[in-house]
Amino acid sequence: MVLINKEMGFGSALRLPTVDFSSLDHFKLGTREWESTKMQVRKALEEYGCFEVVYSEVPNRKEMFSVMEDLFNLPLETKILNQSKEPFTSHQLFSAMPLFESTGINDAPILEQLKKFTKLMWPQENGVFSKTIHSFSKITSELDQMIRRMVLESFGVEEYYDDHINLTKYHLRLIKYNPSDNENGDIGINPHTDKNMTSILFDNQIDGLEIQTKVGEWITVKISPKSFIFLIGDSFLAWTNGRLQPPVHRVTMRGNKVRYSLVLFSVPKGRHLVQSPKELVDKDHPLLFNPFDYQEFITTYASSIKVTSSTMNCKREMNLEKYCGV
């Protein structure tokens, strides 16, 4: 269930759209059920840029969040061994967001890559961690591909599907938010849109994630036991030439419980241009973004944040529109 939570005080009850994938045959294209699910996906993304996905293969939360607890309980000097050249994928702590801690695993659905991360954290091995996180990454990457297939079909550009998938990779972010004793709540992560293509999020059902509607209200997302949240990012806005808008979201921590979340990001590979298919550009939909290399964009974006990260608002100097808007 999702409740609306206006900036101050309480709002009326409201849910994020929910799309039920639990009885859909994987990738069984063209069936009545596929077609109707596809239309619901398209509508939810047009209205909110995100939705709750009810799914049959939701991980066991107890196992999932117990391995995450083991990870974040490691000494800081071990956790900071996770360093990557790509922005936002190393172990991260920000002075402007003191409740937030995250670490990232590039190519998490590829077992060998994941095992490298596990070995760095636990040189003596931790098979349960690898197995649990790998299973999560596989389930969510398949779900992501199914949803993206539906979106492309719904715009009549499914012939781009193979390229669209092959030119993206996956990055998994594991996040811990410490509790806040401030009764008005404290920022867990600042309001932002994701910069990548698409994201699938799962949490330990401790509140915090809030999504802003087009009219500016904040919805507090309560992920139901059988669900993930699917969101689109700025790169998908560019790819669809503005037909889908990414939702602004943030995390606000209230109360005395730790929040854990995992987000599987689909990310455009470097040395390739993200560009909208020609079929999505016409006189009613003039091109909004010049083709761009995502890895170059995200590097520029990350350095623009560093300049201002001492302010509580973490003001960003750069966004995709400034970077390559037409």
Ligand X SMILES: O=C(O)CCC(=O)C(=O)O
Cα distances (Å, whole numbers) of residue 209 to 50, 139, 252: 13, 22, 7
Question: Shortest approach of ligand X to residue 34 CB, angstroms?
Answer: 29
Q: Of how many residues is the chain composed?
A: 326
Single-letter code of the amino acid located at 71: L
Residue-wise burial string across 199-213, b where 16 or more C-beta atoms lie within 10 A, e elsewhere: bbbbbbebbbbbbbb
The residue nearest ligand X at its CB is 261
Place of tokens 């779900």: 143
Query: What letter would DSSP give residue 196?
Result: S
Question: Using the rule CB under 6 A, which residue among 89, 92, 261, 266 binds ligand X?
Answer: 261
Question: Using the rule CB under 5 A, which residue among 194, 207, 210, 234 binds Fe ion?
Answer: 194
Question: Shortest approach of Fe ion to residue 100 CB, angstroms?
Answer: 11
- One character per residue 203-222, x = contact with ligand X (rule: CB under 6 A): x-----x-------------
Partner whose footprint covers residue 209, from Fe ion, ligand X, none (CB < 5 to 8 Å by kind): ligand X
Nearer to ligand X, 251 or 280 (CB): 251
Is 223 a binding residue for ligand X by CB under 6 A? The answer is no
Place of tokens 């009764």: 183
The DSSP secondary structure of 211-261, one letter per residue, reads EE-TTSPEEEE---TTEEEEEE-HHHHHHTTTSS-PPPEEEEE-BS--EEE
Is 263 a binding residue for ligand X by CB under 6 A? The answer is yes
Question: Using the rule CB under 6 A, which residue among 42, 173, 176, 254 binds ligand X?
Answer: 173
Partner whose footprint covers residue 91, from Fe ion, ligand X, none (CB < 5 to 8 Å by kind): none
Residue 152 has which token pair?
């492309």
Partner whose footprint covers residue 232, from Fe ion, ligand X, none (CB < 5 to 8 Å by kind): none
C-beta separation of 262 from 175 below 8 A: yes
Query: What letter would DSSP give residue 190?
Result: E
Number of residues that bind ligand X (CB under 6 A): 11
- Binding segment toward Fe ion, per CB under 5 A, in 17-25, 123-131, 194-202, 221-229: 194-202
Question: Shortest approach of ligand X to residue 134 CB, angstroms?
Answer: 20
> Helix 32-48 and helix 127-154: axis angle, to 10°?
90
Number of residues that bind Fe ion (CB under 5 A): 1
Residues that bind Fe ion (CB under 5 A): 194
Residues in contact with ligand X by CB under 6 A are 173, 175, 189, 194, 201, 203, 209, 249, 251, 261, 263
